A and B are shown apart, each in its own frame.
Chain A
């Protein structure tokens, strides 16, 4: 005879013998599986202290997910306060950190909300569904703010491009994003893709979504008004994703990794996505908002019903009474703990006045979205839940949502940090003659990090909705928001694990600067920041030091650039065994275009235009793509950060773009001018002849920040020179566009066809 199936709390899965509040009070000594649910002894004792008794199994489920690292930010919270403490003065922020997503006023009666979030762990265990539901989750966050989601982006990191597990993970992740995002009708307008051995077994899948709303339509996650009804709508609740937040996202993988390891056992913790249902849910919510029948709303993501009920009640400063029997189920054997922890996708929870319930349900019916009243708001300040008529939950909602443990984890600068900094790439052999320069450029361009990413981005729909002005491979995604005025936004995400490994403080600031520059290069004025902080285990003092340095760097950088952090996400435990990933903060910057018709494209536009290098180039090779791609070396110092230079460059780009002086513009970063020139030639199919004004190696391969390459419209050369001079931005005329080759005087000439082959062949060769 087989044993009766049991749930994560150890209860038989027969839906009958459940633990009630009365039983909990009467059986204080019963052993509970808190450790298996990811809680420490101290945390379990803290729950007992809060309740004055042991928790019921259902309550234990709530605390275990809400106090998980993923939901409670218990290791990061102390540091994240810096974003508020050092926030630059701004009057454009309508909602900031702590909400589902930050909301920024962009003028003309429009607001924009955007956020980036990780789905790293699920995407390793089950790449397709893990990545797909990552898109679904961030889209619901944006929807919950009262906004129409209008575009997505993805920042991806994988192990070595030719590693067998990358061959499993990358195509699955890309197909999952493609499947979900395309089917949802959201253009994918940009992102990043990079490879490093540290991400083998720890891929990073960070999904960004941006939405548009009228400021007056802003919705908050608050259950206000005792007597109002609590409505759960969308998909039915099933046994998928149970413990996703606590068991999966808040623990590191064991050694061995991959399918061969024990991670298959965690696969049921990965949710399964249905983008068709999400599309219906999006349109249904937008109609509910228009009808004015929503008092408060929250999406169901990590920690499902447990999170939505506790956060709504805590947000409203009220209480809530919920009948768990009313939750529509896909699997009738689920008990209360599992219903609370399930991370089934495509669900939302709304607070609705009793008078509006009928209209609310009618609109849901029109969209074939199942909607069920599961409870009501109370004035008791308690979250109470019943199951089969008995009380199984009775807690103060804030104790789960806001008053979780906060840890001041020990930090220790890693022992090898000085040795790493001392290993200067100056020791590496540099190209000597013209032949070696030519070969070096082709090698950097053809390395997986330098190569054409269209094998990936071609799988994403970038056109749907008809407002995509720029998408990959341009420096930033640009969307039209208002057809009449041309008002629009630009978005870019950046992150460089190599720089951050060398110096997490400077590396994070460089990521911020690059995203800021990418937005400004299109002609948009940078306005606000979001971030996804991907790190190893917070229980490792070296990782915690990296994390604290990164947060401090980002907070200082945002203050210097005048762009506030509006929200973000922390992903810890990205490590296999004792080896953590490189610290990888991914920074997203949002900018505003007053008229998208003035946007600056990347890629040379026509022959005969002057090519100007803006910004100063110093010999800076630490963490460079050249050192990594040609020598497999990572050491030294990352490029210097200079906020004044970044702001000056941005001013030149925004002004020059607005005045129509530029035929094209491109930021310089990974691979320096060498890769920048090649990309401009290739995406425009126009060659260039360039004379380098100094040491060719430094000029071609240094990754000095605060630089851009621009192509000037005929007749505008003097205007640009004057503009750059008055902004204090060094400007060097380095050549002219034209011909079918990239020619660097005295060094080499590479026909565009040869350049194109080196650039476009590597990824299809690996993944087709």
Chain B
């Protein structure tokens, strides 16, 4: 068996693709660059949609990326169980693609925020968070202008009761997110969206610490679809 291969998609305007690939490598897997214009997942074991401003955030964050050729392959694969992690803009794309419920809206104070923050991992059974203990608080980086998670009350209640809240902001709500939600996961537990950036917290030299590495090591042991 070779090493796990994790795809990182580059859309026009993706910015943290470089960082996501480094995180994958540090976790011990092979990072496979995937191009938005190719409807081909190259047989990877999992996919990361990285942060950035795909298509310049034109129309709405993630609204155009969701129609990219690579997504025509990714959406059905995700529905069949392929582990997918959307970080920041990637989270927005997953919501636009209806792989995750809800939407991300402008920060409460309507300003971009870059901040070292603490999140609490609420779901430790998903493909991406099984390396953490329930309730574990980890340090990661928040950097977004449209990071406030919103959904209707019914959806929020369903997320809570179904254990689909992946992580919450632990020390104050930085952006007005509903129920302090920092990330959510699909019912099946394979598709995760996270507003803060675990890939910027993989090495104390260049980030607030290495707490984020668990997201990338967790998926190596995740059950892969046939």
Binding site for B on A (CB under 8 A): 175, 178-179, 182-185, 274-277, 279-280, 367-368, 457-469, 480, 596-597, 768
Give the docked Cα–Cα distance between A280 and B112 (Å). Answer: 22
Within 8 A of A (CB), among B34-80: 51-53, 55-58
In the complex, the answer to whether B55 meets A276 with C-beta atoms within 8 Å is yes
Within 8 A of A (CB), among B112-154: 112-115, 141, 143, 145
CB-based nearest A residue for B197: A463
* B109 contacts across to A, CB distance below 8 A: 768
Within 8 A of A (CB), among B199-222: 199-200, 205-207
Give the docked Cα–Cα distance between A526 and B197 (Å). Answer: 33
* B206 contacts across to A, CB distance below 8 A: 463, 466-469, 480
In the complex, the answer to whether B112 meets A459 with C-beta atoms within 8 Å is yes
* B18 contacts across to A, CB distance below 8 A: 465-466
In the complex, the answer to whether B113 meets A466 with C-beta atoms within 8 Å is no
* B56 contacts across to A, CB distance below 8 A: 183, 274-277
**Residue B28 lies at the interface, judged by CB distance under 8 Å to chain A:** no
In the complex, the answer to whether B114 meets A459 with C-beta atoms within 8 Å is yes
In the complex, the answer to whether A178 meets B55 with C-beta atoms within 8 Å is no
B187-204: CB near A (< 8 Å → 1, else 0) gives 000000000010110000
**Residue B15 lies at the interface, judged by CB distance under 8 Å to chain A:** yes
Known A275-B56, A469-B205: A464·B15 in contact at CB below 8 Å: yes
B78-117: CB near A (< 8 Å → 1, else 0) gives 0000000000000000000000000000000101111100
**Nearest CB on B from A484, distance (A):** 13
CB-based nearest B residue for A276: B56
* A274 contacts across to B, CB distance below 8 A: 56
**Nearest CB on A from B51, distance (A):** 8
* B197 contacts across to A, CB distance below 8 A: 463
**Residue B12 lies at the interface, judged by CB distance under 8 Å to chain A:** yes
CB-based nearest A residue for B21: A466
Binding site for A on B (CB under 8 A): 12-13, 15-16, 18-19, 22, 51-53, 55-58, 109, 111-115, 141, 143, 145, 197, 199-200, 205-207
* A768 contacts across to B, CB distance below 8 A: 109
Give the docked Cα–Cα distance between A275 and B112 (Å). Answer: 16
In the complex, the answer to whether B112 meets A464 with C-beta atoms within 8 Å is no
CB-based nearest A residue for B200: A463
CB-based nearest B residue for A179: B112
* A183 contacts across to B, CB distance below 8 A: 13, 15, 53, 56-57
Give the docked Cα–Cα distance between A368 and B52 (Å). Answer: 18
- Which of A280, A465, A597: most chain B CB closer than 10 A? A465
Give the docked Cα–Cα distance between A367 and B115 (Å). Answer: 32
* A468 contacts across to B, CB distance below 8 A: 206
CB-based nearest B residue for A764: B109
**Nearest CB on B from A467, distance (A):** 6
- What total count of A-B pairs have CB within 8 Å? 83
Among the listed B13, B16, B53, B111, which residue makes an inter-chain contact with A459, where contact means beta carbons less than 8 Å apart?
B111
In the complex, the answer to whether B205 meets A596 with C-beta atoms within 8 Å is yes
In the complex, the answer to whether B113 meets A459 with C-beta atoms within 8 Å is yes
Among the listed A368, A461, A480, which residue makes an inter-chain contact with B114, where contact means beta carbons less than 8 Å apart?
A461
Give the docked Cα–Cα distance between A463 and B206 (Å). Answer: 8
6 further contact pairs, Cβ within 8 A, besides A368-B12, A464-B143, A466-B18: A276-B13, A280-B13, A460-B112, A460-B114, A464-B15, A465-B19
Give the docked Cα–Cα distance between A459 and B114 (Å). Answer: 6
CB-based nearest B residue for A597: B205
CB-based nearest B residue for A278: B56
* A279 contacts across to B, CB distance below 8 A: 12-13, 15, 53
Give the docked Cα–Cα distance between A367 and B37 (Å). Answer: 10
Give the docked Cα–Cα distance between A683 and B109 (Å). Answer: 24
* B52 contacts across to A, CB distance below 8 A: 185
Q: List 30 A-B contacts (CB under 8 A).
A: A175-B111, A178-B111, A182-B143, A183-B13, A183-B53, A185-B15, A275-B53, A276-B12, A276-B55, A276-B58, A279-B15, A367-B12, A458-B114, A459-B111, A460-B112, A460-B114, A461-B143, A463-B19, A463-B114, A463-B200, A463-B206, A465-B18, A465-B19, A466-B200, A466-B207, A467-B206, A468-B206, A469-B206, A596-B205, A597-B205
Give the docked Cα–Cα distance between A279 and B16 (Å). Answer: 13
**Nearest CB on A from B26, distance (A):** 10
Give the docked Cα–Cα distance between A713 and B200 (Å). Answer: 28
**Nearest CB on A from B169, distance (A):** 16
* B53 contacts across to A, CB distance below 8 A: 182-183, 275-276, 279
Among the listed A178, A458, A464, A467, which residue makes an inter-chain contact with B115, where contact means beta carbons less than 8 Å apart?
A458
* A464 contacts across to B, CB distance below 8 A: 15-16, 19, 51, 143
* A480 contacts across to B, CB distance below 8 A: 205-206
Give the docked Cα–Cα distance between A368 and B51 (Å). Answer: 20
Give the docked Cα–Cα distance between A597 and B200 (Å). Answer: 17
* B57 contacts across to A, CB distance below 8 A: 183, 276
**Nearest CB on A from B48, distance (A):** 14
* A276 contacts across to B, CB distance below 8 A: 12-13, 53, 55-58
**Nearest CB on A from B139, distance (A):** 13
**Nearest CB on A from B119, distance (A):** 16
In the complex, the answer to whether B143 meets A463 with C-beta atoms within 8 Å is yes
* B145 contacts across to A, CB distance below 8 A: 182
CB-based nearest A residue for B111: A459
* A460 contacts across to B, CB distance below 8 A: 112, 114
Give the docked Cα–Cα distance between A688 and B19 (Å). Answer: 37
CB-based nearest B residue for A175: B111
In the complex, the answer to whether B19 meets A466 with C-beta atoms within 8 Å is yes
**Nearest CB on A from B207, distance (A):** 7
**Nearest CB on B from A285, distance (A):** 15
In the complex, the answer to whether A463 meets B141 with C-beta atoms within 8 Å is yes
CB-based nearest B residue for A455: B111
Give the docked Cα–Cα distance between A458 and B114 (Å). Answer: 5
Give the docked Cα–Cα distance between A271 and B55 (Å). Answer: 21
In the complex, the answer to whether A466 meets B22 with C-beta atoms within 8 Å is yes
Give the docked Cα–Cα distance between A768 and B22 (Å). Answer: 36
**Nearest CB on B from A578, distance (A):** 37
CB-based nearest A residue for B35: A366
**Nearest CB on B from A468, distance (A):** 6
Known A178-B112, A597-B205: A466·B13 in contact at CB below 8 Å: no
Give the docked Cα–Cα distance between A480 and B112 (Å). Answer: 25
* B13 contacts across to A, CB distance below 8 A: 183, 276, 279-280
Give the docked Cα–Cα distance between A467 and B145 (Å). Answer: 22
* A277 contacts across to B, CB distance below 8 A: 56
* B199 contacts across to A, CB distance below 8 A: 466
* B58 contacts across to A, CB distance below 8 A: 276
Give the docked Cα–Cα distance between A274 and B58 (Å). Answer: 11
* B111 contacts across to A, CB distance below 8 A: 175, 178, 458-459
Among the listed B22, B55, B207, which residue makes an inter-chain contact with A463, where contact means beta carbons less than 8 Å apart?
B207
CB-based nearest A residue for B208: A463
* A467 contacts across to B, CB distance below 8 A: 206
Give the docked Cα–Cα distance between A460 and B113 (Å). Answer: 7
Give the docked Cα–Cα distance between A368 and B109 (Å). Answer: 34
CB-based nearest B residue for A277: B56
* A461 contacts across to B, CB distance below 8 A: 112, 114, 143
CB-based nearest A residue for B18: A465
Closest 10 CB pairs of A and B: A276-B56, A185-B15, A466-B19, A463-B200, A183-B53, A459-B112, A178-B112, A461-B143, A276-B13, A463-B141
CB-based nearest B residue for A184: B15
Give the docked Cα–Cα distance between A429 and B92 (Å). Answer: 58
